[in-house]
Amino acid sequence: MPKSAIALASLLIGLVLAGTSPPVAMAAGGVWSVRPSPNVGPPTADDILSSVSCVSATFCATAGDYANSGHGYPTLFERWDGHKWSVMPGPTLGSASTDSFASGVSCVSTRSCMVVGMTGDHGLAEHWDGTKWSVVPVPGSEVDLNGVDCTGPEACVAVGDQTSKTENSRSLIETWDGTKWSIVASPNPGPAAQYAYSAGPAHDILESVSCPSPTWCAALGVYITPAGVTKTLAEQWDGKTWSIEPSADKPSATTAFMAVSCTSARSCVAVGDFESTGYDTLTESWDGAKWSIVASPDKGPVDLDDDLAAVSCLSPQSCVAVGAAAESPAGGRGETLVESWNGAAWSLVPSPDKGPVSGLSGVSCAPSAPCVAVGSYLIAHHGGTLTEVS
C-alpha cells in the first residue's frame, strides 16, 4: 500500500483501537460539505480515496483502492461531474488477491489524466483518455510511485522510491513523454547502506511532486539520517537535472513532508507533520531561494496527532491543506482537518466528518471552481470513501 494510504489507514484504525500515534509515512476558507460517493467493496471491507485532481467545476478524477472478497486491493477510480460522484471502471490487474494501489492522480483535461501507484512489487501507471483507463508500463522492479504531476498530455513527472536487494529504499523519479515512462537520475541524501542506529534499512522516499512549468519541478518526501531520524527531503528540477535543496526541519525531531503545491518556481507550499508531544502539523514555504517553516495551527489536543496529507494552491495567497486530527484517545475519535492559507497565515477551517473516525488524504482546487477533498471514514473497523466540496 502506498505511504499516503498507509498513513491515513493507520491513523484511522489506530484511533478506533486506542488513539495511538501513527507512524510517519504520514477555495480557501469556503464552507465544506460531505457529498455522497460510491463504494465498490463488500460492506465489511474498506474503500479508500487517496488523491484527487480537478480541471474545472464539472470534472474531477479521484483514485484509491478497496478491499475485495478475494483478500486483494484493486484500484478504485471515481469522477465528479459537478453534481455527483460515479465510479470510473478500470482494468483488472493480476488475480483477485493482487494488491494494486492508486496513490496519485493528475489531470490536465477531461480527456487526459494520469494515475500512479503500485501493483504487486511493480510500479503502476494508468492513463485516462476521456473514455477509458489503460495501463501504461512502468520501468524498474520493486517500484512504488506515490505522486504525479502533469503539465500536458505528453509531459508528466512521477515520484516515489525503489527498493534494492538489501531492502534500502532510494528516491525514484520517472518522466512520461506521451509514449513511455523513463527513469531519471535523482539524488539521495541518506546513507547508501544500512544506517548505524538500529542496523535497519536506509530510506529516501519522495511522496509528492509539483511542476508549475515543464522546466521546473519540486519533489518532496523524507529520508532517514545515519542516526535513524526521519527528516524532510526536497529536490528540484531545473529542466536538466535533479538536485537536493536544503529544507527546514524541527530540531531533533521526526519531520516529514507529505505533499507540495507550487504556483511558480518562486512560490511553493509543503505540508506534513513533525513529532512533538504527539504529531503536529508542518507547513513550509519556498520563496525561490530557500524553504522556511511557517506556523500552522493544530486541531486536536497537544498530546495527540494532527497530520496534513495534501495541499493545493491556486496562487501564493490561496492554498488549502487537508489531513486528519486525533480528538480523543479514550473515545477513539478522529476528525477531518482542513486549513487555509491567505498569503500571511494558516487558519483552521471547519469541515464535516462521516462516522466517528474520518480523515482526508487528497485535495484539489481548480480556478473558478469549488475545492474538492477526498479520504475515508471508519465505523466499527469498516469504512468507505469520503468526499467533501467547499
pLDDT, tens digit (0-9, with 9 covering 90-100), for 18-39 = 333 333 222 455 799 999 999 9
Q: Average pLDDT of the chain?
A: 87
Phi and psi, residue 16, nearest 5°: -65, -40
Q: What is the pLDDT of residue 277?
A: 83
CA distances from 205 to 2, 112, 221 (A): 11, 27, 6
Share of the chain above pLDDT 70, in %: 86
Is the pLDDT at 251 greater than 70? The verdict is yes
Tens-digit pLDDT profile for residues 138-147: 999 899 999 9
Least confident of 244-258, 301-315, 327-341, 364-378: 327-341
The mean per-residue pLDDT over the stretch 77-95 comes to 88
Is the pLDDT at 332 greater than 70? The verdict is no
Share of the chain above pLDDT 90, in %: 68
CA distances from 299 to 120, 155, 231, 319, 323 (A): 36, 38, 23, 18, 11
Angle at 352 between CA 346 and CA 355, to 5 degrees: 135
Q: What is the pLDDT of residue 228?
A: 83
Phi and psi, residue 124, nearest 5°: -120, 135
Is the pLDDT at 11 greater than 70? The verdict is no
Interatomic CA distance for residues 266 and 248, integer angstroms: 17
Cell of 154: 505528453
Confidence grade of residue 247 (pLDDT, cut at 50, 70, 90):
very high
Taking every pair of Cα atoms in the chain, the longest distance, rounded to a whole number of angstroms, is 54
262 near 213, Cβ under 8 Å?
no
- The reported pTM is 0.91
Interatomic CA distance for residues 297 and 308, integer angstroms: 11
Phi and psi, residue 68, nearest 5°: -100, 180
Q: What is the pLDDT of residue 80?
A: 98
Residue with the three cell numbers 464539472: 58
Q: What is the pLDDT of residue 72?
A: 76
Q: How far is C-alpha 323 from the chain's CA centre?
A: 10
Domains of the chain with bracketed CATH? 45-315 (2.120.10.10)
More confident residue, 216 or 252: 216
More confident residue, 322 or 28: 322
Interatomic CA distance for residues 324 and 386, integer angstroms: 12
32: enclosing H helix or E strand: none
